[in-house]
Structure 1
């Protein structure tokens, strides 16, 4: 992970990612009562902004200053009423784990790390849940390299739902959903393959 490289990427004109939230975030959180949520690796802030617009109080963390700058712009331009509802935090999510039992929900969306760091971040994410809290993890599935489109091309940072379940073993969460999902990405029928895991702390 190189903050300078991501600063350079996010520093280019235009957006790196879509401004629309992940469909899996919408599916999972539309039925949940709003509370406090931690967005791990927020990037340009599309998920944090969507959550804030639904009444959540958001802590959004990324190690790229340029990502945080663009995230603030997205919030200001697309959801000005949410200003003050998101705390934008520049921090390394690997080196700086969140406070235990501090959030009603945690989302880790398309954060791709080597396995050791991924496990560390996901364990910290699970520990950050208050009782009854929900964890959503989504990323490009390992099978996406051969069977899907887009996403990282380094197999070392891809994972399966099963990998996430193993990462969370012993973390005192109950797995509610763990599957590979085909996500349409174009009008030609092409799809990306995503690993999707939903867990809850009892």
Structure 2
């Protein structure tokens, strides 16, 4: 889907994603000292807004202006800079303490560009957190894209960062419970990668 299609999707409902942060974003980043963060493919800004509420100075990047406008309205006076740009082409100097990429599901070449841009934006010692629907979710889990071309594993993320210098904190498949209409839940499987850029 292109930016125009996403604009239309974001116009069609109040919020596409939940108002609160992704559970893994909250769990993985809560222990870090606050600084500067970038949320690439931020959508309506749920993770960016949560980071800002924790005291971070946040840049939220998405190619849907409609999504960013919704996020800006929700954020109010929180310290979030809203930038309309594509995560595969957006580039910044190494000045961020955290880069987040959550559920940006793209074919391999575009995915690699986004991962490398997110990593390049980090200062030495900065943390990259990538979350995505895992390849195994197609057969074993629930929800998420049904196109295997845009699913990935933690190893795929690390391969995308080939030639860069980092320490791995976590790189694994994780389970996430998804509420169902009948009141029960089913398990979705995500790839979670957390690395720290070396000096």
**TM superposition score normalised by structure 1:** 0.93
Q: Measure, in 2, the Cα distance between the counterparts of 1:152 and 1:136.
A: 20
Q: Measure, in 2, the Cα distance between the counterparts of 1:134 and 1:53.
A: 19
1:165 is displaced (CA, Å) by 1.1
Query: Which residue matches 2:166?
Result: 173
- 1:190 alignment partner, SS class: strand
Query: Which residue matches 1:136?
Result: 129
Q: Is the 1:165–1:175 contact (alpha carbons within 8 Å) kept by the matching residues of 2?
A: no
Query: Which residue matches 1:70?
Result: 70
Q: Is the 2:88–2:117 contact (alpha carbons within 8 Å) kept by the matching residues of 1?
A: no
Q: Does 1:201 align with 2:194?
A: no
Q: Is the 2:96–2:121 contact (alpha carbons within 8 Å) kept by the matching residues of 1?
A: yes
Query: Once superposed, which parts of structure 1, at least 4 consecutive aligned residues long, lie more than 4 Å away?
Result: none
- 1:14 alignment partner, SS class: coil
Write the deviation string for residues 149-176 of structure 1: whole angstroms up to 9, x where unpaired: 1111111111111111111121111111
How well do the aligned residues superpose, as a CA RMSD in angstroms?
1.1
Of 120, 123, 130, which aligns to 2:113? Answer: 120
The number of residue pairs the alignment matches comes to 195
Q: Is the 2:105–2:132 contact (alpha carbons within 8 Å) kept by the matching residues of 1?
A: yes
Write the deviation string for residues 9-53 of structure 1: whole angstroms up to 9, x where unpaired: 001132111111111111111100000001000001000000000
**TM superposition score normalised by structure 2:** 0.94
Q: Is the 2:141–2:189 contact (alpha carbons within 8 Å) kept by the matching residues of 1?
A: yes
Q: Is the 2:97–2:123 contact (alpha carbons within 8 Å) kept by the matching residues of 1?
A: yes
1:135 is displaced (CA, Å) by 0.4
Q: Is the 2:38–2:60 contact (alpha carbons within 8 Å) kept by the matching residues of 1?
A: yes
- 1:99 alignment partner, SS class: coil
Of 79, 104, 107, which aligns to 2:100? Answer: 107
1:189 is displaced (CA, Å) by 3.6
Q: Which runs of 5+ in 1 are unaligned?
A: none
Q: Which runs of 5+ in 2 are unaligned?
A: none
